[in-house]
Amino acid sequence: MVDVVDLSAPRQHPLRATLRRLMHHRLFLLGLFLFGIVAIVAMLAPIIAPLDPNKLAMRNKFRPPSADFVFGTDNFGRSLWSRVVWGAQLSMFIGFSVVVINAVFGTAIGAAAGYFRKLDNALMRVNDALMAFPAVLLAIAVTAVLGPSVNDVIIALGIVYTPRTARIVRSSVIVLREMEYVQAAVAAGAGHWRILRHHILPNAMAPLIVQLSFLFAYAVLTEATLSFLGVGAVPPTPTWGNIMAEGRQYMLDAPWIITIPGAALMITVLGLNLLGDGLRDVLDPRLRIQS
């Protein structure tokens, strides 16, 4: 009456196994390193960049990078180091907030549309309508209505990207809804809420996490684009986009003003993309089998 038990099988928590695979993924580690630098710099901004990023000092303007001013100064003599570091904090804050908004609303809308067939059509048509606009164009339109503060940019980016997240969650939920263990749970007397919370959403997490890591990169990039175009947070707010927009006029004489925030933006986005690729490689079982 006893089935054969395979004792050689590793008895390891799946989460720990996933972490271990991530720690062996080189590009993921590189991504984590790059993103980690930016995140740590952003968090330590008040300590490592004590100079006010908006303090004008006209006698110091256009100083190239030196021992006094690590990243040089801009056309108003402001420390570029301070501006870029505080800009990193803003970028991280905006990116993280957009990710949180997406995780909450994207999951809620996607789960509702995927699970309750009656809601599907209504929710997804609104979703499609929002997705039909190019991201930057829609973001410009929303900030035009809301206003040009950091919070408004966050709301705009939330509105722009939530439909994309909702669509990804919905497609996972539609597949999971038909799984046998979901039917088994219904047969055991579980209600809708219990089924969504215990059987569907935990299994839909992997693609969502991958999506959110890429979304962080998109949010940072789009925010910089909006600032650069002059429809994001108003100057002199030290966003990377604002710094680059101002530096553009002095590109030939003081190239550090535009290249340094540009490089910071590139490092952040590259880091996040590598991070996302790594997560996808590890979390997507189909890719794992191929490799």
Partner 1 sequence: MSLLEVRNLTTAFQTARGEITAMEDVSFDLNPGEILGIVGESGSGKSVTALTIMGLLPRPPARIASGSIRFGGQELTTLSEGRMQKLRGPGIAMVFQEPMTSLNPVFTIGDQIVETIRAHENLSNRALTARAIEMLEKVGIPSAATRMSDFPHQLSGGQRQRVMLAIALVCRPKLLIADEPTTALDVTIQAQILDLMMDLRDEFGMAIMIITHNMGVIAETADRVMVMYAGRVVEEAPVMRLFDHPMHPYTRGLLECVPAIGQDKERLVAIPGTLPEPANRPRGCRFAPRCAHAIADCSAGLPPLETLAPQHTAACFRAIELQSA
User: Which stretches of the chain bind partner 1, using CB under 8 A?
Assistant: 1-6, 9, 11, 14, 179-181, 183-191, 194, 198-199, 202-203
CB of 12 to partner 1, least distance (A): 9
Q: Which is nearer to partner 1, 47 or 187 (CB)?
A: 187
Q: Are 225 and 241 contacting, i.e. CB atoms less than 8 angstroms apart?
A: yes
Residue 88, SS3?
helix
CB of 6 to partner 1, least distance (A): 7
Nearest in space to 31 (alpha carbons), one of 280, 291, 282, 271: 271
Q: DSSP readout, 135-162?
A: HHHHHHHHHHHH-SSHHHHHHHHHHHHH
CB of 284 to partner 1, least distance (A): 14
CB of 183 to partner 1, least distance (A): 7
Q: Which is nearer to partner 1, 44 or 184 (CB)?
A: 184
Q: Which is nearer to partner 1, 61 or 198 (CB)?
A: 198
Beta bridge partners of 208: none
Distance CA 190, CA 41 (A): 47
Q: Which is nearer to partner 1, 12 or 50 (CB)?
A: 12
Distance CA 79, CA 56 (A): 9
CB of 86 to partner 1, least distance (A): 41
Distance CA 48, CA 37 (A): 13
Kindly give, in sequence order, each residue whose CB lies less than 8 Å from that of residue 109, ignoring residues fewer than 6 positions away: 123, 127, 162, 163, 166, 169, 170
Q: Which is nearer to partner 1, 55 or 194 (CB)?
A: 194
Q: Are 74 and 64 contacting, i.e. CB atoms less than 8 angstroms apart?
A: no
Q: Which is nearer to partner 1, 66 or 121 (CB)?
A: 121
Q: Are 94 and 219 contacting, i.e. CB atoms less than 8 angstroms apart?
A: yes
CB of 274 to partner 1, least distance (A): 26
Copy the structure tokens of residue 231: 């429809």
Beta bridge partners of 79: 73
Q: Which is nearer to partner 1, 55 or 197 (CB)?
A: 197
Torsion of CA 261, 266, 268, 273, to 10 degrees: 170
Distance CA 153, CA 223 (A): 7
Q: Which is nearer to partner 1, 11 or 26 (CB)?
A: 11
CB of 193 to partner 1, least distance (A): 10
